[in-house]
Structures are given as C-alpha cells and as structure tokens.
Chain A
Amino acid sequence: MSEILLKATNMTMQFGGLRAVDGFNLTLKSGELVGLIGPNGAGKTTCFNCLTSVYKPTEGQVEIRGIDTKSMKPWQISKLGMTRTFQNIRLFKDLSVLDNVAIAGLQHTRHSLFDSVLRSPRHYIEESRLRERAFELLSIFNLQGKADHEAGSLPYGEQRRLEIVRALATEPRLILLDEPAAGMNNKETEDLMNTIAKIRKDFRLTVLLIEHDMKLVMGICERILVLDHGVLIAEGSPAEIKSNPKVITAYLGSEETV
C-alpha cells in the first residue's frame, strides 16, 4: 500500500464572517495526480495556502507524511518535501533565472554563509553542484539557454514554467500546482500537461493541481475534488465528476463554461 503523503482533516479557514474553506478533507497517497477544481472564488487557492501554512487554518488539521504542521512555517513545509507554485506568478523577478532555481535548492546544500564569505573549497563544491543541478532542471523545461536572463524579463509562458522548475529544485515528493496553465493557449497547455506527466514519472512526484479549465483536468487527473463556496461538493473520477449534477449547477450558477 502506498504511503499517505498529505492528509487534511476538517480544515477550515475563516476570514471574519466568511468561511473561505469549510471542513475540507483530503487524503493524498504517494504517486497520485489529483485535481482540485471549482468556480472562481471557491476557495481553491485558500486551500493551498492553508496546506502550505501560509495561512493558519482556523480549525482542523493538516498532516504531511504523518507530521502535524500546525506550528510550522511555510519554509518548514518545504523541508518536509511539499512545495508549490503560485497562481499569480511569484518569481524573484530581478534575479537571474539560474538564481531563482539555485535559491530553491539551497536547503539541500551543506555549506554555511561563513564558507561563502571565506570562499572555502566547500563553498565552491556546493555552489557548483547547485548550479549543475539547476541547469539540469532548466533543460528539462528547455530554459537552460535563458539561465542568465532576469526572471521578470521572460515571456509569460516561460515564467510559468520557471515557477515549476523552481519548485522542483526544492526536491519535493509532493507538488501543489496552482493554475499552471493559466493564460496559456491550447498548444502551450497541452505541452505543459505532457511535461507535468513526464516529471511526475521521472521524479516520482505526487501532484495536486488546481485548474480552472475542466477539460484539461479531466484529461490528466485520476481523481478530482470539486470545491464550491469553500465546501467540497464532489469527489471522484473524471467521469463521475462530469455527470455530477451538483458540479454542473456550481459551474453553471457562476456562469462558467464547462
């Protein structure tokens, strides 16, 4: 039986009078690819923020590999092997593409700031390793040629891909992708989905994916969760979700195209 990587129990996030996420339950097993969908403002990103400790859930529990994350900061979550991308791209815009990736890989280096100040042999060993690793990852996404470019100067689609590369540099077991295909055309989206499938296999990753575009999620996810007004209204295989009347109402009610 595969290991349970992520488990949320009754996770609730209340902002003043608004319950943005209400009693969210989720169990993610190693190797799964699960989609989280729902209309605009359904609380999908808030879910991610709670899972990654950016917000402290007001109720409920989040466990990563059996460890309660209640008192943890987001950087500790990353050390547990879970990472994420952001819906509204949050790259280190003024830094180079290479630096963006290298910074994410820092937690796996063994040199101290002191090594770097003294420029000790260990500094050179670790930093060159970090660079090599960053180049490897960049080349998977065909970004190695842009290593010296400022991240903020990349075209939109490449910025989205760089976000994924950066997340992979933390060497995660579980990656949360927040609308990775937002703003991409059909061709780009298809490419991206292929890449996600590939890295999932190559890195033996577990993926939780927020997507707006239902078609796309249906294509690659094995299991789908549907969120509406902060509440989970359906869970199941793509086929089950497609025919679920609650889901259809939720989407039609908010004038979303299915």
Chain B
Amino acid sequence: MEMRDEAARSQALKSIPGPLIGIVILIAIAYLLDATANPYTQFVLTMILANAVLATSLNLVNGFTGQFSLGHAGFMAVGAYTSAWLATRPELAFLPDYLKFLSLPIAAGLLAAIAGYIVGLPSLRLKGDYLAIVTLGFGEIIRVILLNSEAVGGARGLYGIPAAAAIPSLGMSEFISQFSISSIWLVITFVTLWRIVHSAKGRAFLSVREDEIAAEAMGINITQTKVRAFVISAFFAGVGGALFAHTVKYLNPATFTFTKSVDIIIMIVLGGMGSFTGSVIAAAIITVLPEMVLRELQQLTGVDLRMVIYSLMLILFMILKPTGILGTLEATDILRKLRERFKPAAAQESK
C-alpha cells in the first residue's frame, strides 16, 4: 500500500511539467511572432487558438459522448459577451491586467456552463436529430435574447472591447498578451479534456456514445454523464468566446448564428469526431484557409466562396471519408504507430 501511494505521488508530480512546458513554448512563439509577423498574420494566428478551444470543447459532446449539439455558437456568445462586458466594468479596475484577463474566461465559462446545464437537460430525453434541432433552437434563443438586451448593445453590437493586456514591463505588447493568455487557456482546455477522456472515469463519456443501454447496465449514470459533457463543453465554449471577444474587439449577435456553430462542426468533422489533436489541426486549417487561400480566390472571382467550399467539404467528407483526417485517433497514436513500424526495420538492419 505504501509503495502504491509513493508511486502514485511521483506519477502525479510527473504530470505537472508537461502542460507548463507547452505554455512556455507557446509564449516563446508569441515573442518570436511579435518581432517577425505582420499584425494581420498575428491576428489570424491568435484566432487559431480561440477556434481550437471551441473545436476541442465541441468534440467532447459531439465526438466523444455521441450527442449532437448544433448550438455551440450560443455558448460561445454567452462567454464572449460576459467577458467583454466584465472587461469594461470599473468595479474590476483594481485587478492587475494580467490577472483580470486571465480570469475573465473563467467567469465567461461559468455563465456558459449554466447555459450548458439548461441545454443539457433536454438531452436526457432526446437523441440524434431531435437533440440537434433543440440545441440549434437554444442557440437561436440565446442570440435573440442578446439581440434584445440593450445593456450589451442589442442589434448594434458591443463596441470598444478592450484588448487583453498582460505585463507591459516584460515587453508584452497587445499581441503577446492576447496570444499568451489564449495559449494558456488553450493548454488548460486541451489538457483538461485530454485527461478526462484518457482516464477510466472519463471513459464513461465514451461508453454513452458506444451503447447507452449497456453503459447504464454497467452502473453508469448516463443522465449525469451527458449533462456533465454538456456543462464541461459549454464552459470551454464560453472560454473560447471570451478569447474571441478580446481578439476581435467587437461583438454583434449576428456573429453567433447557426452558421457559426456549423463553422465549429466543420472543424471537428474535418479533424475527426473523437480526436482532440485532429480538432486543433482542423481549427488551424479552417482558420487559415479562408484568410490565405480563399481571399485570393475571392479577389479573382469577386464572390464569397468561403461557405460554399466549407459546405462542399462537409458533404464530400461525409460521403467519401466520414471519419475526417484522424478519425478517433490522436496525433500521438499515429506517431507511435509510425515508430513501431520503423523500429523492426531498424532492428533488422542492425543485424
């Protein structure tokens, strides 16, 4: 027993540095980009981080728990508006900037999580298409409420959202601040979700996806599991919304329509439902693609092809490769397989 406790403690300690190293690397990249990239590229790259948070969080519900939510834009909106509104409150002015902007996503996430709880409740009774259309409905209701809330600008939208600021004395420009804070939150999101599904405890989510009846017979409270999935997913959607708000600095209810939800769905379909690394990769592709490639095409043809190409991609992927790029594999699985494939070859050569 002693031995086991000791081993567990050392394992627990070993799990700490990984995420921290990830954050440090990303912040280092921020400094590098600050010196080299133009503001436009910087903006696009910061958006990748926010989109990756949104995609991975949606994947928990749609990919891992097997429910189908079409209302992610709604949770994102709740988070975005919460964070934007709080950022301008004089009552919070006493907080140092870095603390304020690091913690705003928590408030955003909590409010979105409450919304997620409310949406999660009907999911207890509904499946498949019905659940999809109800979550779509909830998303739209959230949007209509925002549209009618004068406190956050109503249909005019919310202007003058402050950009993130961290620690200017460390040479942190607006971009470095925003990129670093977004990176920290992407790492928190990714590590949390990854650890959930890579633990027996979190495999309960997958068991609901696999077979609800069997899961229930094995003692899994599927109601609680589904609601948890919705709440966790909505929390991080709110976080993603907050990152989005301080990156674009202007919010309008029209941003958070059904089309925004579909944007995120395209990311997880492309990356593979059930693959977090796939979601991150696809978030990067889907964010960069319209800016780098489609912009040129658009200037040539004079029409907005973005959604046409996205929707075609959605259809073609479903017909030709429904598992997306990675399917349910993670990038790490693929690396391991590659290593296994080359190892025997290397061993033979040495003979």
| Interface residue A224 (Cβ < 8 Å from any Cβ of B) | no
Given contacts A79-B219, A103-B203, contact A90 B195 (CB under 8 A): no
Q: Which of B1-18 contact A (CB under 8 A)?
A: 4-5, 7-9, 11-12, 15
Question: Contacting A121 at CB < 8 Å: which of B5, B202, B204, B211?
Answer: B5
Instruction: Encode contact with B along A65-101: 1 for CB under 8 Å, 0 otherwise.
Output: 0000000011101110001101000111111000100
Q: Known contacts being A113-B196, A117-B196, is A170 close to B219, with CB within 8 Å?
A: yes
Contact among A105, A106, A120, A131 with B12 in the assembled complex (CB-CB below 8 Å): A120
Given contacts A83-B217, A92-B207, A103-B207, whether A127 and B199 have CB atoms under 8 Å apart is yes
Nearest-CB residue, chain A, relative to B7: A124
Chain A residue, CB-CB nearest to B211: A90
- A139 in the interface (beta carbon within 8 A): no
State A125–B213 Cα separation when bound (angstroms): 29
Q: How far is the CA of A53 from the CA of B196 in the complex (A)?
A: 29
Is A122 located at the chain interface by the 8 A CB criterion?
yes
The 8 Å CB contact of B192, one of A79, A106, A117, A127, is A117
C-alpha spacing A124/B201, complex, angstroms: 11
B5 cross-chain contacts in A, Cβ below 8 A = 121, 125
Bound: A130/B8 CA distance, A = 14
Which B residues from 202 to 246 make CB contacts under 8 A with A? 202-204, 206-207, 210-211, 213-223, 228
* Residues on the B chain within 8 Å of A99, using CB: 200, 203, 206
B328 adjacent to chain A (CB < 8 Å): yes
Contact-size category for B: 20 to 34
Q: Answer yes or no: A207 CB below 8 A from chain B CBs.
A: no
Whether A164 is near chain B, meaning CB under 8 Å from some CB there, is no
Contact yes or no, B15 A119, CB < 8 A? yes
B223 to chain A, nearest CB (A): 8
CA gap between A235 and B204 in the complex, in Å:
40
Q: Is chain B's binding surface mostly helix, strand, loop or mixed?
A: helix
Q: Is the CB of A73 within 8 A of B221?
A: yes
Nearest opposing residue in chain A for B223, CB measure: A73
- When the two chains form the complex, which single residue of B4, B215, B217 contacts A84, counting CB atoms closer than 8 Å? B217
A122 neighbours in B (Cβ, 8 Å): 8
Take A90-B211, A117-B195 as given contacts and tell me if A112 and B219 are in contact as well, using a CB distance cutoff of 8 Å. no
Kindly provide the distance from the CB of A200 to the nearest chain B CB, expressed in whole angstroms: 20
B349 CB to closest chain A CB (Å) equals 27
Q: Which of A91, A102, A130 has the most CB of B within 10 A?
A: A102
> In whole angstroms, what is the CA distance A92 to B215 when docked?
8
- CB B312 to nearest CB in A, in angstroms, measures 28
Shortest C-beta distance, B252 to chain A (Å), equals 34
B210 engages A93 (CB within 8 Å): yes
Q: Are A106 and B201 in contact (CB under 8 A)?
A: yes
Q: Could you tell me the dominant secondary structure of chain A's interface residues?
A: helix
Q: Which residues of A contact B222 (CB under 8 A)?
A: 75
Residue of B with least CB distance to A171: B219
Residues of chain A within 8 A (CB-CB) of B199 are 113, 116, 123, 127
Any B CB within 8 A of the CB of A142: no
Binary contact readout A143-178 vs B (1 if CB under 8 angstroms, 0 otherwise):
000000000000000000000001101100000000
Q: For B211, list chain A residues within 8 Å (CB).
A: 90-93
Q: Nearest Cβ in chain A — how far from B167, in angstroms?
A: 27
Determine the chain B residues whose CB is within 8 A of the CB of A106 once the complex forms: 200-201, 203-204, 218-220
User: Using Cβ atoms and an 8 Å threshold, which residues of chain A touch B7?
Assistant: 124, 128
A104, B215: Cα distance in complex, Å: 8
- Chain A minimum-CB-distance residue to B328: A94
When chains A and B are docked, how far (Å) is the Cα of A122 from the Cα of B328?
28
Residues in A whose Cβ lies below 8 Å from that of B216: 54, 73-75, 78
Q: How far apart are A95's CB and chain B's nearest CB, in angstroms? A: 6
A170 to B7, CA, bound (A): 26
- A86/B218 contact (C-beta < 8 A), A121-B12, A130-B200 known: no
What residues of chain B lie closer than 8 Å to A124, measured between beta carbons? 7-8, 11-12
CB-nearest residue of chain A to B194: A117
Question: Chain B nearest CB: distance from A108 CB in Å?
Answer: 9
Q: Separation in Å of the A158 CB from the closest CB of chain B?
A: 17
Closest residue to A90 on the B side, CB-wise? Answer: B214
A90-B221 Cα distance, complex, nearest whole Å:
17
Give chain A's interface residues, CB within 8 Å of chain B: 52, 54, 73-75, 77-79, 83-84, 86, 90-95, 99, 102-107, 109, 111-113, 115-117, 119-125, 127-128, 130-131, 166-167, 169-170
Knowing that A103-B218, A125-B5 are A-B contacts, what are 4 other residue pairs whose CB atoms are under 8 Å apart, sorted by A's residue number? A79-B219, A90-B213, A99-B206, A117-B192
B-side residues, CB < 8 A to A, are 4-5, 7-9, 11-12, 15, 192, 195-196, 199-204, 206-207, 210-211, 213-223, 228, 328
> Which 3 A/B pairs are nearest by Cβ-Cβ distance?
A78-B219, A124-B8, A92-B210
A sample of 29 cross-chain residue pairs with beta-carbon separation below 8 angstroms, ordered by A number, consists of A54-B217, A74-B216, A86-B213, A92-B206, A92-B207, A92-B210, A92-B211, A94-B206, A95-B210, A99-B200, A102-B203, A106-B218, A106-B220, A109-B200, A116-B202, A121-B8, A121-B11, A123-B8, A123-B12, A123-B199, A124-B8, A124-B12, A125-B4, A125-B8, A127-B199, A127-B200, A128-B8, A130-B200, A167-B218
